[in-house]
Amino acid sequence: MLTHLHIKNLALIPELDVELHAGLNLFTGETGAGKSIFIDALGLALGDRADAQLVRNGCERAEVSLQAAVASRPAILDWLKAHDLDTQDGECQMRRTVNAEGRSRAYINGSPVTVAQLRELGDQLVNLQGQHAHQNILRTEVQLQMLDDYAGHTALLHDTEAAFSAWHEANQALQTLIQNQNQRAEQLQLLRFQNEELTALQATTDEIANIENEHRRLARAKEIQETLRQIINRLGQENGFSLEDEVAEMQSGLEAIMEADPALKEPLQLLHEAQILLSEARHGCQQRLDQTQDDPERLSQLESRLSQLHDTARKYRVPLTELPELAERIQQEFDSLQHLDEDLESRQQIVRQHLDQFQRVAKRLSGSRRQAAEKLSKELGERIRELGMPHAEFSLEIDSDLTRISARGQDQLIWRFTANPGMPLQPLDAIASGGELSRIGLAIHSVTASGHATPCLVFDEADTGLGGKIAEFVGRSLKQLSKQHQVLCITHLPQVACFADHHFSLSKTVSKRATITTLTPLKKKADRIEELARMLGGMEVTDTARAHASEMLAAALD
């Protein structure tokens, strides 16, 4: 539930702290005192659209923070953990700032978040019903959601959504395949030509590497031969005194003096090794010289093959070394397209299977909805009659259409209603007045309270258009609702305000310099009686109004 609301520099409020409690929290005040600002502040903290006009005149920014106890809400704790916004003490803080240009920032537990994340968390904490929220019950998707909340068949809804997602994904793949089939002939012709050309080329990774190496050798054969001959002559004895002879002479010199200096043993050993290495190098060069042939005919063959490979690589716009990979990929695409008919039939079968599964699950969901609709119709009828419409009747009809496929099943809910005896039931949006819709909306919330996942319900003047005995029924309904949820309600009716567990009064102070809205908790019975008397009799509070207010309060507490 919500535990604390802090408001700073918002509209008429310079700074305000409100401690919120379990049960029915009611907010009253004269017209223009700022009751709507309180709802705006809540909405801002819960992710509503920011508006620069909300910033108090002369201030740089407005700020709203909302504290909530979430220790007993595992779904909310899981959400916070999934977004790395863990709470250590079971408390969650949602904070929003708006500057004078209308730019806003959002925070959860002190960490910056997106407004969408703030809204997502807010939807799990609070169900906020604005002044015209009763109009929402005319929307078919809202009506169906209310029925599902009442039925509590969460597992069926999940199974239906999962079955729909599986069908949708399979159907998307099928449609893509069908589009490919329409382009198949032209694409198949192109792939066949490319496949034949690349297959005939028979380019392999090893071949490309080998012929490039061989071509480099043959292209420079004369240069290689000349260089090898020079090295062999320099190392060997064909040209007089050689490097090997020089090393042998050095070795003899060291041997002659090593007796005098034994430390020369290591250099002598190195010269011996050098003589061996020079000999091996000369033999290696001679061997390579014998193997190197100037072969113009073979060089011509290699150049022709390389030219063919390079031309093909340029044609397909790939590096030469990627030709084998390209050939393999085109072969696979060609084979796949050739078997498209088989794939199409297989995909169609998969789509049919997923559709059958969806329809089986959706049928079970429809059955559960019908049972819940029959029960809800009776309970709504009873509750709405308690709210001053003694002859009202409800009928909730489920229209199932096998051709309708959605994540919420195949059903459309039709709410029918009549407030007068002897009159036929008609669709709700065709006959219900604003006042009737207010009561119907409250009745629905009262009956479906156990199905609400949100711990806090907020009503902004849910009693609009009502009065007298009917308003008292509304107050009792809100009181009953607050036994299962924390309820925050803005009201202008004393018949409703008298049922508060916690009563707050909003007032406006006007001076030459500023207009300020303040909020006062009415903890004393006398203060509550005075506020109820004001609501009954206007600004001139009489003893008669006080007596009436005292009676109302006593009756509500009875």
- Asked if residue 452 belongs to a domain, the reply is no
Show which of 338, 353, 380 is a domain's final residue. Answer: 338
What pLDDT score does 287 carry? 86
3-state secondary structure of 231: helix
Q: Does 123 share its domain with 203?
A: no
Residue 551: domain span: 524-558
In a domain, 45, yes or no: yes
Residues 508 and 537 in one domain: no
Alpha helices in 33-135 (DSSP H): 35-45, 74-82, 115-125
Q: Is the domain of 53 the same as that of 35?
A: yes
Predicted confidence at residue 462, as pLDDT, reads: 64
pLDDT at residue 372, as a whole number: 93
Q: How far apart are CA 288 and CA 417, in angstroms?
A: 103
Q: Strands of 126-129's sheet, edge to edge?
A: 126-129, 456-460, 486-490, 24-29, 502-510, 515-521
Share of the chain residues as helix, strand and coil, in percent rounded to the nearest 5 = 60, 20, 25
CB 526 within 8 A of CB 23: no
Q: Is residue 420 part of a domain?
A: no
Best CA proximity match to 248, nearest among 237, 260, 259: 237
Helix 434-447 to helix 340-386 angle, to the nearest 10 degrees?
A: 110
Domain count, the chain: 3
Q: What is the pLDDT of residue 360?
A: 95
Domain final residue pick, 323, 338, 353: 338
Q: Are residues 73 and 197 in the same domain?
A: no
Per-residue pLDDT of the chain (558 residues; tens, 9 = 90+): 899 999 998 888 888 898 999 999 999 887 766 677 888 888 889 888 888 888 888 888 999 999 999 888 888 888 888 888 888 788 899 999 999 888 999 999 989 999 999 988 988 888 776 554 555 677 788 788 888 888 889 899 999 999 999 999 999 988 887 877 666 767 778 888 988 888 888 888 888 888 888 788 877 878 887 888 888 888 776 556 677 778 888 888 888 888 888 888 888 899 888 888 888 888 888 888 887 777 788 878 888 888 888 888 899 899 888 898 998 898 888 887 777 666 778 888 999 999 999 999 999 999 999 999 999 998 888 888 877 778 888 888 898 888 889 999 999 888 888 888 878 888 877 765 566 676 777 777 777 766 556 788 888 766 666 667 778 888 888 888 888 889 998 888 899 999 999 999 988 888 777 778 888 899 999 999 998 998 887 667 888 888 998 988 888 877
Q: What pLDDT score does 169 carry?
A: 94
Residue 363 domain-assigned (yes or no):
no
232 in any annotated domain: yes
Q: Are both 282 and 296 inside the same structural domain? A: yes
Q: Are residues 513 and 539 both part of a single domain?
A: no
What is the residue type of 471?
Answer: A
For residue 82, which of 116, 117, 50, 106 has the smallest C-alpha distance? Answer: 117
Q: Say if 28 falls within a structural domain.
A: yes
Whole-number pLDDT of residue 238: 58
Residue 78 and residue 25 share a domain: yes
The predicted pLDDT at position 395 comes to 87
